[in-house]
DNA sequence: CACCTGACGACCT
DNA sequence: TAGGTCGCCAGGT
């Protein structure tokens, strides 16, 4: 439960629908700013987790859907987010990303 | 056991 | 502006 992965899942599960956060923000929140890659790795292994982990709500720092190729089909991630009210430009980048950004360090502010 | 790779990101040419 | 390097941690070969 104190594993880095488990902590990542705990945070991701707290992301509200219609909001998104970044790999780096989660890593920083967990105290390992340089471990953003691990967050992505954790998402990749999220199927190993018993609970639902909204991996589609985690994007890179530009609001770009860099992980879309890891879903069943490349458009699933985008469609899930659109269902939650997010909009995208022609580059699969989230519009109004700053407004939609959910920073665990701030929102959860321990 | 050593080496490689990866859903990132900050920094440095 | 674009491209290369490095750190981060875990898991696969």
Q: How many degrees, rounded to 5, is the angle at CA A15 between CA A29 and CA A98?
A: 75
Residues A49/A9, Cβ–Cβ less than 8 Å: yes
Q: What pLDDT, on the 0 to 100 scale, is given for residue A26?
A: 97
Which pair of tokens denotes residue A64? Answer: 């770009």
Q: Report pLDDT digits (tens) over A47-86.
A: 989 999 999 999 999 999 999 999 999 999 999 999 999 9
> Which residues, listed in sequence order, are joined to residue A21 by a DSSP beta bridge?
A58
Q: What pLDDT, on the 0 to 100 scale, is given for residue A3?
A: 85
Alpha helices in chain A (DSSP H): 4-12, 23-29, 36-44, 76-83, 97-100, 104-107
Nucleotides on chain B that have an atom closer than 7 A to a protein CB are 6-10
pLDDT-derived band at A7, boundaries 50, 70, 90: very high
Q: Report pLDDT digits (tens) over A33-48.
A: 999 999 999 999 999 8
Q: Whose CA is closest to A28, among A20, A38, A18?
A: A38
The whole-number average pLDDT for the span A1-17 is 91
Where do the structural domains in chain A lie, given as residue ranges?
4-101
Q: Mean pLDDT across chain A, nearest whole number?
A: 94
Q: How far apart are CA A52 and CA A26, in angstroms?
A: 17
Residues 6+ apart with CB under 8 A from A15: A21, A54, A57, A58, A102
A37-CA/C3-C1' distance, Å? 20
Considering the four listed CATH numbers 1.10.10.10, 3.65.10.10, 3.90.940.20, 3.40.1160.10, the one that applies to the domain covering A4-101 is 1.10.10.10
A20 touches strand B (CB under 7 A): no
pLDDT-derived band at A1, boundaries 50, 70, 90: low
A34-CA/C5-C1' distance, Å? 14
């Amino acid at each position: 439960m104190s594993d880095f992965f488990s902590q990542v899942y705990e945070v991701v599960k707290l992301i509200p629908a219609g909001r998104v956060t970044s790999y780096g923000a989660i890593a920083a929140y967990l105290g390992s700013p340089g471990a953003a890659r691990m967050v992505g790795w954790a998402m990749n292994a999220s199927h190993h987790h018993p609970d639902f982990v909204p991996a589609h709500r985690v994007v890179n720092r530009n609001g770009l859907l860099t992980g879309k190729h890891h879903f069943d089909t490349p458009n699933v991630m985008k469609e899930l987010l659109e269902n939650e009210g997010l909009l995208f430009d022609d580059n699969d980048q989230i519009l109004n990303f700053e407004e939609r950004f959910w920073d665990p360090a701030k929102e959860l502010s321990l």
